[in-house]
Amino acid sequence: MNLKHFMVVIAMITLIASNLHAQAAKERSEIPEKYRWRTTDIYPDITAWQKDFESLKTDIDKLTAFKGRFAGDKAVEVPKALIEFNKLSDELGKKFEHVYTYVAYNGDVDLANSEWDGRNQQVQMLWVDYSQKLAWLEPELLKIPQETMRRFIAENPALKDYEKYYNDMYLRQAHVLSEKEEEILALAGNIVETSSDVFGKLTDVDLKFGSIQVPRRDENGNPVKDANGNALLDSVEVSDAGYVNWRTDPDRQIRQDYHNKLFSGYNEYGTTIAALMNGNVMKNVFYAKARKYDNTLQAALFSTFVPEKVYTNLVETARKNSAPLHKYNEVRRRILGVDHYRHWDYYAGLFKEPEKRYTWEEGVAIVVDALRPLGEQYVKDIAFGLNPGSGWVDPFYSKGKRGGAYSGSSYMIHPFMLYNFDVDKGLNREDVSTVAHEVGHSMHTYYSEREQPYVNYGYAIFNAEVASTTNEALLNAKLLREAREAYKKAKKGPAKDAAKQNLMSLLEANLSGARDTFYRQTMFADFELAVNRMGENSQPITKESLDTLYLGLLNTYQGPALEYEPLSSVEWERIPHFYRGYYVYTYATSYAAAMAIAEKIQTEERLGKHDARDRYLNYLASGSSKHPVELLQDAGVDMSTPAPIEACTRWFSGLVDELDALSKTPQGQ
């Protein structure tokens, strides 16, 4: 079984997610059945699942029986043994995916049912068992000289699908240890994640932040008063999850109070969280040294063959081109009408407008129409998948359902998309964008499953966000075109003001999205690289050193318009991504790559050409048939150069200038 491939499958399910606002709880039975995904497409019932799970517990012995047949005294008819092993490992890999996803998807819509959690733990433990018992595989395969393996492939067409897997294995050869050493590292798997596990438990469960007093509001958002005209107050418990909502509250004092309460809570545990961060970095240093890498960045990126220069190029180029973000912050300060633009103003909305709501079907129609530049077949496929009757989607929030949104898949069954929209209120504009995002992931997997052999259908996290963000870019571009045209055609007066308000709101949505996904994630990547280098150089990783580093980066990236205070420096303490090992940079590189791809597709469409579209669709069907950077090069974007990063910052700068000019235009004009 291709262990690294299956770990990518799990990562795709657990990491491709976006936060959505919490909604009022409804029982799942109150959600119409057509809006509930069909896990029965994987297994008809738990009995069928149990049968496969039990068989997997003994199937491992069939794989371990091949030990010694690839190299050594028992190694006869090696090509035949390789073919048989690959066929069996593929079969078991597919079965493992079905067993895992059936439990995961059922559990995610029924968190209160501990039986699903228990089954999930069983699957995870079984996977650890597989990992340990197959630790011998690559060390033994690497005893086969590469030239001999090439001859085996040339003489045996049945090995052709595994050619890239074997080539990659030889590229990693210098970092693969002996069988016993690999077994020890596999056994350490659960131990080395202690810092991450403790961080999660501390910040999600044990850490309490207290509460703040906020004015009570009616359904229209107006303050509620008692008979004497005094404002009524409610106590609101402060939490990290709640910060997503309260940081955008129109009442500046509430934003400030919530921000300070939350960050003060983290500050009190700063020494402990710094110790966890140090443990996390020491884990990275341990693995880098154990596997003979030059540094932690190389160790993290080499497994997927992403060159270090892609990471460093992102950080260096974004730093050099942070002026548009500085100007954006100044424009925000002016529009908000504050003399001092503070940390609690960072997420405040700039414009008020009536919130338009859509049914699920109306939202899907907007997405389908916006993605027509990707061709007739793509549109046909997403229209089918997003139709509730397909069984692919679970769009509405219900009691006991996992929050957020994600796209996953169960091999050759179909994609599964989880959302958490309000079934009564419907979708807002941001929700429609989320639909476009997740269906982009689904099509990437859907096409790769059907065009690639099993060993190559999964793709690196580096490539994952491109498909989703390209969809969002095409949707946003369409909405902006329509808004600009409406503003241009509107007559002077109230109609002109309304059109301008809509256009400025869309510009702000695009800018804040780019700020958070491109600039902010790059700043996180900058921080992560610096902290790991501190660990590599045996420099102290303490609360004081991390606070100083983070505050310096805030000022560098955000510019002089934002006035930070010492408490802002503890923000690094609440970022879980730092425990995932050089992961955050992929958000920024994917964003820049997607913007470049979407722009090329739209430019060619206006000229009646489709080369960029066809290259992109081929990319979606390429899985991991090439290395991540090569795949994007085939799609027309070279992330090893500054060009896509610079193009992204120029696009951002153009939108800032447009918003700046519009916001200064007199009313009615």
Nearest one of 158, 145, 179, 172 to 82, comparing CA atoms: 158
Q: Is the pLDDT of residue 136 over 80?
A: yes
For position 354, what pLDDT does the model report? 66
Angle at 372 between CA 369 and CA 374, to 5 degrees: 145
Q: pLDDT band for position 592 (50/70/90)?
A: very high
Q: Is 511 exposed, middle or buried (0-12, 13-18, 19+ CB in 10 A)?
A: buried
DSSP 204: I
For position 24, what pLDDT does the model report? 53
Q: Give the start-end residues of each E strand in 157-254.
A: 211-215, 233-237
520-536 and 308-320 helices, crossing angle to 10°: 120
* CATH number, domain with residue 160: 1.20.140.70
Higher pLDDT, 306 or 179: 306
Q: pLDDT band for position 319 (50/70/90)?
A: very high
Q: How many CB atoms lie within 10 A of CB 162?
A: 24
Torsions phi, psi for 409 (to 5 deg): -160, 155
Q: Is the pLDDT of residue 20 over 50?
A: no
Q: pLDDT band for position 247 (50/70/90)?
A: very high
Calpha distance 288→532 (Å, rounded): 11
Enter the tokens of residue 402: 């996992």
Q: Is the pLDDT of residue 7 over 60?
A: no
Calpha distance 37→60 (Å, rounded): 31
For position 154, what pLDDT does the model report? 97
Assigned domain for 618 exists: no
Q: Is the pLDDT of residue 62 over 50?
A: yes
For position 140, what pLDDT does the model report? 95
Assigned domain for 233 exists: no
C-alpha distances (whole Å) from 157 to each of 450, 622, 626, 667 are: 20, 20, 19, 71
**Element counts in the chain: helices (H) and strands (E):** 27, 8
Q: Is the pLDDT of residue 517 over 80?
A: yes
Higher pLDDT, 377 or 354: 377
Enter the tokens of residue 87: 């066929």
Q: Is 263 exposed, middle or buried (0-12, 13-18, 19+ CB in 10 A)?
A: buried
Calpha distance 594→477 (Å, rounded): 12
Assigned domain for 110 exists: yes
C-alpha distances (whole Å) from 334 to each of 325, 562, 634, 635 are: 14, 12, 43, 40
Q: Tell me which of 13-27, 520-534, 608-622 is least confident.
A: 13-27
78-108 and 114-133 helices, crossing angle to 10°: 160
Calpha distance 587→463 (Å, rounded): 10
Identify the active-site residue in 438, 528, 571, 573.
438
Assigned domain for 311 exists: no
Assigned domain for 166 exists: yes
Section 327-341 average pLDDT: 96
Calpha distance 585→315 (Å, rounded): 9
Strand pairing partners for 236? 212
Section 308-334 average pLDDT: 97
DSSP 539: -
Calpha distance 459→193 (Å, rounded): 24
Contact (Cβ atoms closer than 8 angstroms) between residue 285 and residue 298: no
For position 434, what pLDDT does the model report? 95
Q: Tell me which of 15-24, 304-313, 381-390, 619-628 is least confident.
A: 15-24
Q: Is the pLDDT of residue 302 over 60?
A: yes
Close Cβ partners of 389 (under 8 Å, ≥ 6 residues apart): 34
Q: Tell me which of 174-183, 332-341, 388-397, 628-637 is least confident.
A: 174-183
Annotated catalytic, 438?
A: yes
Calpha distance 548→569 (Å, rounded): 7
Calpha distance 637→590 (Å, rounded): 10
Q: Is the pLDDT of residue 452 over 70?
A: yes
Calpha distance 14→647 (Å, rounded): 31
- 395 three-state secondary structure: strand
Assigned domain for 433 exists: no
Calpha distance 261→101 (Å, rounded): 39
Q: Is 67 exposed, middle or buried (0-12, 13-18, 19+ CB in 10 A)?
A: middle
State how many domains the chain has: 1
Assigned domain for 132 exists: yes
For position 383, what pLDDT does the model report? 97
Contact (Cβ atoms closer than 8 angstroms) between residue 401 and residue 109: yes
Enter the tokens of residue 525: 């990547």
Q: Is the pLDDT of residue 134 over 80?
A: yes
Look up the domain containing 150 and give its range.
37-176
Question: What is the average pLDDT value for the chain, to the nearest integer?
Answer: 92
For position 8, what pLDDT does the model report? 45
- Report the share of the chain in percent with pLDDT over 70: 96
Calpha distance 331→310 (Å, rounded): 31
pLDDT in tens, 383-406: 999 999 899 999 999 998 988 899
- Report the share of the chain in percent with pLDDT over 90: 80
For position 21, what pLDDT does the model report? 42
For position 373, what pLDDT does the model report? 97
Assigned domain for 99 exists: yes
